[in-house]
């Protein structure tokens, strides 16, 4: 069946329909990762977005529950060059086409994704619509794209967050091959510590990485008051990744200010942006965002370059941060801020994903740094 991707500036791409035979709309972004498409599908940070994958072959190894970052896909739609109708992998339990159809996610394939990406790089991310069918009204689809609510100023985190408090079940944590993970080598006398994790769209591999540091994790909804978190008497508080603009999440910024100095704090991605805002800084929207698995980051504390996975459209302006906040990491592609740390209070954050699954694994040390920070705070 024919399918169309219509962008708000009137650019049209024609291809074939896969996945759900439905219409979808959202902000169109591109991801340069070579593998891990199911992790991209199920990353809640992609809520409200149509994702263009630059790797031309998608779906060829199928899908499996152990590769999911959440209970379902969160992308609004998918744009690919070639979308495999079959899977060739012993781990696959369902072909990607059936998987996305099951969850109502439309796919447009057999189009020149290079042209789409070049267009987005030149003009910036923009709103779009994917529709399937014959004799589609192109002008009407473009009008729909222009009518979509912009992501700027939109709180999507509270929409994807857990509605209830729960304890993360780490009884049999799995890695991406389905094998039971070995407990991190922390020493026999290492005591378990308690972390409360704010869920703004948290990825399950973050929870796995926290538990590998012998941390008991309680996950709470995005709007949970700081007083309720302090009542749980955690050793530290974690602020997760998530979709949308961080600026309207004033409730989260206020919680950070109330927890600052009282407990060790660690933030990733959206959590990092919220740290910047709570500390008095400002955020801005990138032209086409950072989405992919090979972004080089300079660690100013070690002088080493880390290869990282990233997925964000907004960034913290380093010039807006007060003097008591230091810049710890920088994105070497465009010199944007990629990490910060408070000079006196125990809190730090990074813009990228140290838990990246599949890889890279250069930044796993950050979870160990979080545990070490909690241990020192208790002394």
Would you name the residues annotated as active-site residues? 269, 353, 355
Classify burial at 153, counting beta carbons within 10 Å of its beta carbon; exposed 0-12, middle 13-18, buried 19 or more: exposed
- Residue 46 in contact with residue 311, Cβ under 8 Å? yes
Q: For 201, what's the count of Cα atoms within 13 Å in the CB-facing half-sphere?
A: 29
How far is 276 from 279, CA to CA, in rounded Å?
Answer: 5
How far is 44 from 157, CA to CA, in rounded Å?
Answer: 9
How far is 226 from 245, CA to CA, in rounded Å?
Answer: 21
- Residue 198 in contact with residue 232, Cβ under 8 Å? no
Cβ neighbours of residue 216 under 8 Å, at least 6 residues apart?
Answer: 167, 192, 193, 194, 195
Token reading at 379: 């002394």
Helices (H) and strands (E) in the chain, counts: 10, 19
φ/ψ of 125, rounded to 5, equals: -60, 145
How far is 371 from 194, CA to CA, in rounded Å?
Answer: 10
How far is 35 from 37, CA to CA, in rounded Å?
Answer: 6
- Residue 297 in contact with residue 333, Cβ under 8 Å? no
């Amino acid at each position: 069946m024919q399918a169309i991707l219509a962008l708000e500036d009137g650019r049209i791409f024609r291809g074939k329909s896969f996945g759900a035979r439905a219409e979808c709309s959202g902000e169109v972004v591109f991801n340069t990762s070579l593998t891990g498409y199911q992790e991209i599908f199920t990353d809640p940070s992609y809520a409200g977005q149509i994702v263009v994958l630059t790797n031309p072959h998608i779906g060829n190894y199928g899908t499996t529950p152990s590769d999911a970052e959440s209970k379902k896909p969160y992308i609004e739609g998918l744009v690919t060059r070639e979308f495999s109708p079959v899977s060739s992998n012993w781990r696959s339990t369902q072909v990607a086409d059936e998987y996305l159809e099951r969850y109502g996610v439309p796919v447009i394939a057999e189009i020149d994704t290079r042209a789409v990406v070049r267009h987005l790089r030149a003009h910036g991310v923009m709103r779009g619509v994917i529709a399937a069918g014959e004799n589609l009204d192109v002008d009407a689809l473009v009008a729909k794209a222009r009518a979509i609510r912009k992501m700027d100023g939109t709180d999507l985190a509270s929409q994807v967050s857990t509605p209830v408090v729960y304890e993360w079940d780490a009884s049999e944590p799995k890695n991406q091959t389905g094998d039971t993970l070995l407990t991190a080598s922390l020493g026999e006398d290492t005591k378990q510590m308690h972390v409360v994790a704010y869920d703004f769209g948290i990825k399950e591999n973050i929870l796995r990485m926290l538990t590998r540091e012998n941390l008991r994790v309680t996950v709470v909804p995005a709007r949970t008051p700081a007083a309720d978190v302090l009542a749980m008497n955690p050793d530290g508080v974690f602020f997760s990744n998530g979709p949308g603009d961080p600026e309207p999440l004033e409730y989260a910024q206020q919680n950070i200010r109330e927890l600052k100095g009282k407990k060790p704090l660690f933030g990733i991605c959206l959590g990092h942006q919220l740290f910047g805002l709570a500390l008095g800084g400002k955020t801005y929207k990138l032209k086409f965002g950072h989405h992919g698995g090979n972004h080089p980051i300079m660690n100013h504390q070690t002088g080493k370059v880390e290869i990282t996975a990233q997925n964000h459209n907004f960034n913290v302006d380093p010039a807006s941060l007060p003097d008591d906040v230091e810049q710890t990491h920088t994105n070497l592609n465009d010199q944007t801020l990629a990490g910060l740390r408070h000079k006196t209070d125990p809190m730090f954050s990074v813009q990228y994903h140290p838990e990246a699954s599949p890889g890279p694994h250069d930044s796993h040390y950050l979870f160990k740094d979080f545990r070490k920070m909690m241990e020192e705070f208790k002394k």
